[in-house]
């Protein structure tokens, strides 16, 4: 299970290289994402490739949020499919996560990033 990691100024954008996140692969997800979170304060996960997520996958996203919060960082999500967005809304997690349509919007939402990257 892999992620493509991009950097825009001090923002790290992680794009999963898998199409689903459910109880079958959550342990691998949690292990694989750890090194990408180390010492990162501004993180975006671009969920564009993820076509299906269940409650276990959503729980894994919450664990990432807690980890980033614990380090005084900020996590934002973007690129959700209609199906994944529906899951987040069903369990009210759209109120917990900062969710943007795409990575440009998500990057822009970090204060001072556009100036630094220009």
Give residues in contact with another protein (CB under 8 A). Answer: 20, 22-24, 52, 54-56, 58-60, 62-63, 65-66, 82-83, 86-87, 90-93, 95-96
Which C-beta is closer to another protein: that of 8 or that of 58? 58
Read off φ and ψ for residue 54, nearest 5 degrees: -115, -170
Least separation in angstroms between residue 9's CB and another protein is: 27
Kindly state the smallest distance separating residue 59's Cβ from another protein, in Å.
4
Strand-pair category, 98-100 with 74-78: parallel
Nearest to 78 by CA among 60, 108, 98, 58: 98
């Amino acid at each position: 299970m892999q992620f493509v990691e991009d950097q825009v100024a001090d923002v790290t954008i992680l794009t999963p290289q898998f199409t689903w996140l459910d109880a079958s692969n959550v342990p691998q997800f949690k292990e694989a994402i750890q090194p990408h979170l180390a010492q990162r304060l501004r993180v975006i996960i671009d969920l564009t490739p993820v076509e299906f997520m269940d409650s276990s996958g959503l729980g894994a996203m919450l664990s990432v949020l807690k980890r980033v919060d614990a380090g005084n960082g900020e996590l934002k999500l973007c690129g959700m499919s209609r199906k994944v967005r529906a899951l987040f809304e069903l369990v009210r997690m759209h109120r917990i996560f900062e969710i943007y349509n795409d990575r440009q919007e998500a990057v822009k939402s970090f204060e001072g990033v556009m100036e630094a990257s220009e």
